[in-house]
Amino acid sequence: MKTLTFVEELMRAKESGYAIGAFNIFNYLSARAVIRAAQKMNQSVILQTSTQTVKRFGPLEIGTMLRQLAWNASVNVVIHLDHCQNVDMAKACIDAGWDSVMFDGSHHTLEDNIKLCREVVSYAHSRGVFVEGELGRIAGVEDDIAVDESSATQVGLEESLYFVKESGVDALAPAIGTAHGVYKGKPNINFALVEDLRKAMDTPIVIHGGTGLGNETFRRLIKAGGSKINVSTAIKHAYIDGCKEYFSANPDKIDPIDFDQFLNCKISDTTIEHMEIFHGE
Ligand code: 13P
């Protein structure tokens, strides 16, 4: 089912005081499990693909598969490309039917980030597709993008407003101290920046590095103004840990459907746990 667009979903979340969950999927099983969770919750969801996943299947193959799953779902499913650093790949996914793309030019200078985002925005908007931009560098590893602690940067209010205005992006992912992957200590999160940004602009704010933040942090971030929260590592863990658990409990079982179903439940449960927090339940 297709109802609201990427921006409409984020604006609705912003106005209603919740966050839409954006979950990184990497194959048919994980995509289906996230949709199943959203259907159980009767809430919209964003299915994200990393560029590594797109490279593995090719934009057409995975795009067609995701569009079909979204079409058959009983809730609104938005298909989003996460952390794309390559303009040609962003355009290929736009052509293959993604609803929105994140262009991550955060490793460039501010002006180059703006210039590249503008190129993607112009291509995307003329095709009814939306763009998320990143400012500042978010620490951690997200598939093939690794940013070590020393290269991570946070951003300021004026710079963020300038970036949004000049680049024309539809959603902003500012580096606020969250990180991709598993947190080693307590992250030092700039909640005040999220709040100041929410007050100063209409553009919705995206929070990266959702895995391991915990209920209280999620609630504070949503209250401050986070409208989309990304979760990737927790989904990967549900899948891989689920595989290990299944085979240690059933070492001699040769039943792929049962195995798939077990993993489906693991990923769905993880998705639901996050969605419940994001929707204030
Ligand atoms: P985690 O892997 O920490 O959940 O971060 C996900 C993310 O921000 C994807 O862009």
Q: Distance, CA 178 to ligand 1 centroid (Å)?
A: 9
CA-CA distances (angstroms) from residue 98 to 77, 79, 102, 129? Answer: 11, 5, 11, 7
* Cα 157 from chain centre: 22
Distances (CA, A) of 125 to 86, 102, 119, 228, 269: 17, 13, 10, 20, 35
State if residue 168 touches ligand 1 by the CB under 6 angstroms criterion.
no
CA of 143 to the centre of ligand 1 (A): 10
Closest residue by Cα to residue 49 from 11, 77, 13: 77
Dig out the tokens for 166 from the structure.
């000049």
Q: Does ligand 1 lie within 6 Å of residue 24's CB atom?
A: yes
Which residues, 6 or more positions from 65, have their beta carbon under 8 angstroms from its beta carbon? 28, 31, 57
Q: How many alpha carbons fall within 13 Å on the CB side of residue 48?
A: 27
Pocket mutation for ligand 1, best pick of 144, 230, 235, 278 (most atoms within 8 Å of C-beta):
230
- Judge whether 82 counts as a catalytic residue: yes
**Distance from the CA of 22 to the center of ligand 1, in angstroms?**
9
Is the shortest distance between the CB of 83 and ligand 1 below 6 Å?
yes
Q: What's the CA-to-centroid distance between 148 and ligand 1, angstroms?
A: 15
Instruction: Verify whether ligand 1 is closer than 6 Å to residue 232 (CB atom).
Output: yes
* pLDDT string in tens for the chain (281-residue length): 789 999 999 999 999 999 999 999 999 999 999 999 999 999 999 999 999 999 999 999 999 999 999 999 999 999 999 999 999 999 999 999 999 999 999 999 999 999 999 999 999 999 999 999 999 987 777 777 777 776 667 789 999 999 999 999 999 999 999 989 998 888 999 999 999 999 999 999 999 999 999 999 999 999 999 999 999 999 999 999 999 999 999 999 999 999 999 999 999 999 999 999 999 97
Each residue's pLDDT tens digit, 204-242: 999 999 999 999 999 999 999 999 999 999 999 999 999
* Ligand 1 neighbour 106 (Cβ under 6 A): no
